[in-house]
Amino acid sequence: MIRLNRLIAQLLFLVPKSLVEIFAKQYIAGETLSQALEKTRELNDLKIDVTLDFLGEDPQKKRDCRAAVDVYKKAIKEIHNRNLKSGISLKPSQMGLKINKQFCFDNLHDLIDHARKHMVFVRIDMEDTSLKEDTIDLYLKLKKEFENVGIVMQAYLRSAIADINGMIQAHANIRLCKGAYYWEDRKVAYKDMNIINSSYAYLMEKLLSNNCFTGIATHDEKLLFEAMKLIDKLGVSKEKYEFQMLYGVQEDLRKIIHDHGHSIRVYVPFGKDWFAYSVRRLKENPKMVSYIFTNGIKNIFSH
């Protein structure tokens, strides 16, 4: 089923955007910052923390990166002024990493400094492996100066064990996920889901047993069970971990975990540039195949 999902994901560019949008909307808070802030308030009222993600990957021009910085600055100010429990998540490519590394560093520095003044945490997302080394390098430089910054590690990468060892040495703040860029080459990423899950469990144990703050970012119930087991076995304190889930995914499970007394943070994307993000989510949705077959194929041939 996963293979079929991936094949269909590769063909999604054939599906009219208006159709993808219908299904994609469940994963997005809205196109505007004010819609995202409203969702944040709703989630906070349920005692759920948030991280806001302004959608946009791979801008080609410096001015587009600066525009994204401005949106994030506004979001940070609003989070502070409205007393919301939210951080922000951002993509290095959106900050200009593919244009120029120093330009990206300057944007990140500017934003993280602004966030520190407003007591907001900044999480640097991890993109595909072509950006991994630079992302780690930028993070480690920024971490020397700022405490309000964290990074993401992807369990599907063969290099993850070595990278996590480095992060433990640096007392990093980590979000651990499986990894979303499924087209990575076999040379760099595991392709077998059993190995990815085993890698996830191993890395999670390393992080938790070495006192690194760990954002356990998965909707996989088996891994969530492994996490509970570890938290109990190691006596991990509440300040050292939280569960993280994506907006619109497994909300029932999220509630169950929260009702059992664990902290939860939800990743809330917003913005007009929703297509690439939504396609990644659609390919991970086990129900996508039946949806696309029943609604999509008909539409493809009628256009």
Ligand X SMILES: Cc1cc2nc3c(=O)[nH]c(=O)nc-3n(C[C@H](O)[C@H](O)[C@H](O)COP(=O)(O)OP(=O)(O)OC[C@H]3O[C@@H](n4cnc5c(N)ncnc54)[C@H](O)[C@@H]3O)c2cc1C
Tokens read off for 88? 């922000």
CB 107 within 8 A of CB 95: yes
Consecutive H or E run containing 159: none
Should residue 246 be labelled a site residue for ligand X when binding is judged by CB under 6 A?
yes
CB 122 within 8 A of CB 111: yes
At 268 the three-state DSSP class reads: strand
List binding-site positions.
91, 126, 154, 178-180, 218-219, 280-281
- Piece in contact with ligand X (CB under 6 A), picked from 5-13, 160-168, 171-179, 226-234: 171-179
Should residue 218 be labelled a site residue for ligand X when binding is judged by CB under 6 A?
yes
Cβ-Cβ contacts under 8 Å for 200 (sequence gap 6 or more): 155, 176, 178, 218, 220, 223
Of residues 181 and 275, the one with the C-beta less far from ligand X = 181
Should residue 106 be labelled a site residue for ligand X when binding is judged by CB under 6 A?
no
Should residue 179 be labelled a site residue for ligand X when binding is judged by CB under 6 A?
yes
- Piece in contact with ligand X (CB under 6 A), picked from 62-70, 161-169, 246-254, 268-276: 246-254
Q: Count the Cβ atoms, other than its own, within 10 Å of residue 66.
A: 15
Nearest distance, CB of residue 303 and ligand X, angstroms = 25
Residue 194 dihedral angles phi and psi, to the nearest 5°: -65, -40
Should residue 214 be labelled a site residue for ligand X when binding is judged by CB under 6 A?
no
- Near ligand X by CB under 6 A: residue from 219, 240, 258, 262: 219
User: How far is the C-alpha of 193 from the C-alpha of 78, rounded, in Å?
Assistant: 40
- Near ligand X by CB under 6 A: residue from 185, 187, 252, 286: 286
- Piece in contact with ligand X (CB under 6 A), picked from 14-22, 163-171, 279-287, 290-298: 279-287
Please name the residue that has the structure tokens 């993401």: 152
> What's the alpha-carbon Rg for the chain, to the nearest Å?
19
Number of chain positions touching ligand X (CB under 6 A):
24
Should residue 235 be labelled a site residue for ligand X when binding is judged by CB under 6 A?
no
User: How far is the C-alpha of 248 from the C-alpha of 23, rounded, in Å?
Assistant: 11
The dihedral through the CA atoms of 8, 9, 14, 18 has a sign that is positive
Should residue 284 be labelled a site residue for ligand X when binding is judged by CB under 6 A?
yes
- Near ligand X by CB under 6 A: residue from 244, 257, 273, 292: 244
Should residue 90 be labelled a site residue for ligand X when binding is judged by CB under 6 A?
no
Should residue 152 be labelled a site residue for ligand X when binding is judged by CB under 6 A?
yes
Q: Count the Cβ atoms, other than its own, within 10 Å of residue 185.
A: 8
- Piece in contact with ligand X (CB under 6 A), picked from 32-40, 159-167, 170-178, 230-238: 170-178
Interface contacts to ligand X, rule CB under 6 A: 125-126, 152, 154, 175, 177-181, 217-220, 244-246, 249-250, 267, 281, 284-286
